[in-house]
């Protein structure tokens, strides 16, 4: 069953210098109980997409078009008040910075109780408290009764991220958006948090959108991956195939840039150049100035998303009419 369907989502920001297209014709689907990774470097539109799904990106200078269909509701057409009832209730989000995402003046317990008290009007304070302690236990915090009364500064980064997860799951969450949830944590804690999220996902049959630039996290967590570049999807495929057989030159570049413990190389490979200025996009394919395989055609015309026979999608002319990217080597 499809839980979330994003269709032709386009987000434009009006700035003094001109209109910036932060996200351009985004399409993806997410089934209930599955997980999707959105990968891309800074400025590729990952976080903007997630904030739009949460309905937090509404102001006079933002223009959002397209459809976001969540569980039969068109999120972009809901009133702010209706959207507020969904936020924190059936869609939740956790952030990159567990250090600053908790209010320093409220106890952790109080902050977990808050979404329960906001969204479930018939729940008494005592019930909410019991539920919050239960949630603390669920996310693996030792002696939850005592931790309930503690303040965020008394906890470590990993524990705070667990608290954030507990807050996000306080109501009956169907979709959890995790915006780089482990970036600020060290590797061992990172592994614990990812394990926790994986087990909760199975237990509650919820869907996760994992926004990250860490491909390792994606491999651990996600069934499908969407690779974004300058607000567009450049590749969409199942996770294993992204690692074994990346299609788009950009994805290949990303994978090559990961340091490997087995090989002895002095320098890491990097993708040449930088992300283009959002106000001054290159003509044709937005990746062509950095692409090794770029041809004249790429400079003139933006490639559409080609659908391959195995269901994968890629935005590159290399795959025009081909089953798989065999001719990449020929172009080399």
Q: Which residues bind other proteins (CB under 8 A)?
A: 54, 56, 84-89, 92-93, 95, 97, 100-106, 114-115, 118-119, 149, 151, 153, 164, 167-168, 170
Give, in degrees to the nearest 5, the angle at Cα 220 between 217 and 226.
65
Long-range contacts of 300-309 (CB under 8 A, 24+ apart): 305/27, 305/233, 305/236, 308/247
Give the nearest distance from C-beta 198 to other proteins in angstroms: 22
Pick between residue 184 and residue 225 the one whose CB is nearest to other proteins.
Answer: 184
Distance CA 224, CA 33 (A): 12
Nearer to other proteins, 25 or 84 (CB): 84
Shortest Cβ 193–other proteins spacing (Å): 16
Please provide residue 226's backbone torsions phi and psi, each rounded to the nearest 5 degrees.
Answer: -115, 125
**44 vs 173, beta carbon nearer other proteins:** 173
Q: How far apart are CA 140 and CA 200, in angstroms?
A: 11
Q: How far is the CB of 329 from other proteins (least distance, A)?
A: 46
Least distance from C-beta 104 to other proteins, angstroms? Answer: 7
Q: Looking at beta carbons only, is 162 or 236 nearer to other proteins?
A: 162
Half-sphere exposure of 228 (CA within 13 A, CB side): 28
CB of 107 to other proteins, least distance (A): 8
For residues 82 and 269, which CB has a smaller minimum distance to other proteins in the complex? 82
The CB density around residue 6, as the number of other CB atoms within 10 Å, is 22
């Amino acid at each position: 069953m499809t839980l979330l369907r994003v269709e032709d989502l386009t987000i434009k920001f009006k700035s003094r210098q001109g209109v910036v297209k932060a996200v351009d014709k985004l399409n993806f689907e997410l089934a209930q109980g599955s997980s999707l990774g959105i990968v891309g470097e800074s400025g590729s539109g990952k976080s903007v997409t997630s904030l739009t799904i949460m309905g937090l990106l509404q102001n006079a200078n933002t223009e959002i078009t397209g459809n976001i269909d969540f569980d039969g509701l068109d999120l972009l057409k809901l009133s702010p008040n209706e959207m507020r009832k969904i936020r924190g209730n059936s869609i939740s989000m956790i952030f990159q910075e567990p250090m600053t995402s908790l209010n320093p003046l409220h106890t952790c317990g109080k902050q977990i109780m808050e979404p329960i008290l906001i969204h479930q009007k018939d729940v008494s304070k005592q019930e909410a408290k019991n539920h919050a302690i239960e949630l603390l236990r669920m996310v693996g915090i030792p002696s939850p009764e005592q931790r309930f009364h503690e303040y965020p500064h008394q906890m470590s980064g990993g524990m705070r991220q667990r608290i954030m997860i507990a807050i996000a799951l306080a109501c009956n969450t169907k979709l959890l958006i995790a915006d780089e949830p482990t970036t600020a944590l060290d590797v061992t804690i990172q592994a614990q948090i990812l394990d926790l999220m994986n087990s909760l996902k199975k237990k509650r049959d919820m869907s996760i959108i994992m926004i990250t630039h860490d491909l390792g996290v994606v491999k651990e967590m996600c069934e499908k991956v969407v690779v974004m570049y300058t607000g567009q999807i450049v590749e969409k495929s199942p996770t294993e195939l992204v690692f074994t057989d990346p299609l788009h030159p950009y994805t290949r570049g990303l994978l090559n840039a990961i340091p490997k413990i087995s090989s002895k190389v002095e320098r890491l490979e990097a993708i040449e150049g930088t992300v283009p200025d959002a106000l001054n996009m290159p003509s044709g394919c937005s990746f062509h100035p950095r692409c090794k395989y770029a041809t004249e055609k790429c400079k003139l015309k933006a490639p559409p998303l080609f659908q391959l026979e195995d269901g994968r999608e890629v935005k590159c002319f290399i795959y025009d009419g081909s089953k798989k990217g065999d001719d990449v080597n020929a172009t080399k």
